Structure 1
C-alpha cells in the first residue's frame, strides 16, 4: 500500500510539474510573439511602418586593412550584412548574396561585414572562408564591433537595406533566402 501511495504522489507531482511547464511555456511564447521586432533569432523581415531611420555611420576595414566608412557610399543603395564564418545560418545565405552581387553590383553596394571578435572569428578565418567558397563580393571586417554596435546587432546573420537617402528601409534577422533578398533589394532600388 505504501508503494501505491508513493506512486500516486509521484504521478500527481509530475502532472503538476507538466502543468507549470505548460503555463510557463504559453506565457513566454505569447511574450515572445509580442516582441518579434526585438532580439528573436527567427528569420523575419523587420519592415518599418514608422518614418525611416537614418543609417548610422561606422568604420570597418577592407581586405587590405584600409578604413572604409558607410558614408563613403552615400547616394547609393546599400545591402549591409553582418556575418561570421563559424555561423551556419550565415553560411547558408552567402551563395544568395554572391549571386545577387554578381547580378546587381553595378546598381547596389554590398557591404558584407565580417563580425570579427578575435576569438571565434578573425580576419584571417573570414577571408579564408570567402576565398575557399569562391565568393566574389568584397568583405569588410568589423574588428572593433563598431558597426555591429551602431546597428544594435545581437545575433547574426543580420541584413539591413539602406536607400539612396541613407535611410534604413527594412532589415532582416536570420538567414535570408534568395527571393526575400532580391525583393528587399528592389525596395532600395525604387
Structure 2
C-alpha cells in the first residue's frame, strides 16, 4: 500500500509539472519568424570570433543564407556563382549573413577556421559567416534546408522566406533557367517595391541540427 501511495503521489506530481516543462520547450519551436512581421533579433559570432547582432544592421536590407558546405545543393549554388550574387548586392549596401547551424557531432560540421577556408576557396563574399552550432538561430527562423534564404527590410521586417530559386535540383545547369527569388526580391526592395514573391518552398539538404531531446 505504501508503494502504491508513493507511486500515485509521484504520478500526480508529474501531471502538475508536465505543463510547466512543456512551456519551457515549446517556444523554441513555436517562435519561428513570419513573413510580414518583425524579424527576431539574434546574436552570433562569425568564423573569426567577432560578434554580430541582427539589430545592429537596422536601416539596411539584410539577407540570411543558411549554408552547409557538405550539402550538394549548397555546392551547386557556389559553383553557379552565388558568390557573385553576394558581391553584387553587398556592393549596393545590402548586409549578407551566411549562417551555419550544423551541429558539431555531424560529419558535415566544419570548425570556424575550416568553414572560413572553404568560403575563401569559393571566393564567397558575405558580410559575415556566422556559427550557430546550437541551432538556436536556425530554429528561431524555422530554417529547414541548406540553402534556406530570408530577406529582412531596413525597418526590420521579414519580407522573404524560402528557396533561392524556383528549380529544386542539384544541377548547376538549371541555375541559368531558374528565377532567382533572392535577386528578384532584393532588386524590388531596393527599388521601393513590394516583393512579387514573398514566400516560396525552400529546397536542399536538411539542416543538421543538434538533438535537443
Tell me what 1:8 maps to.
Answer: none
* Structure 2: tracts of 5 or more residues without a match: 1-33, 167-174, 193-213
* Structure 1: tracts of 5 or more residues without a match: 1-46
Between the aligned partners of 1:117 and 1:58, the Cα distance in structure 2 is 18
Tell me what 2:47 maps to.
Answer: 63
Between the aligned partners of 1:180 and 1:87, the Cα distance in structure 2 is 20
Between the aligned partners of 1:174 and 1:108, the Cα distance in structure 2 is 16
Q: 1:1-190 alignment to 2 at 5 Å?
A: 52-94=36-78, 95-105=80-90, 106-119=92-105, 120-122=108-110, 123-137=112-126, 138-173=128-163, 177=175, 179-189=180-190, 190=192
- Normalising to structure 2: TM-score of the pair? 0.59
What's the Cα RMSD here?
2.3
Shift of 1:89: 0.8
Distance 1:86 1:59, change over 3 A: same
Contact 2:165 2:180 in 1 (8 A): no
State the structure with bigger RCO (CA 8 A, min sep 6), 1 or 2: 1
**Count of residue correspondences:** 141
The structure with the largest helix share of the pair is 1
Between the aligned partners of 1:161 and 1:96, the Cα distance in structure 2 is 19
Contact 2:47 2:113 in 1 (8 A): no
Shift of 1:80: 0.7
Tell me which structure has the larger Cα radius of gyration: 1
- Normalising to structure 1: TM-score of the pair? 0.65
Between the aligned partners of 1:96 and 1:147, the Cα distance in structure 2 is 26
Distance 1:142 1:68, change over 3 A: same
The structure with the largest strand share of the pair is 1
SS at match of 2:145: coil
4+ aligned runs moved over 6 Å, structure 1: none
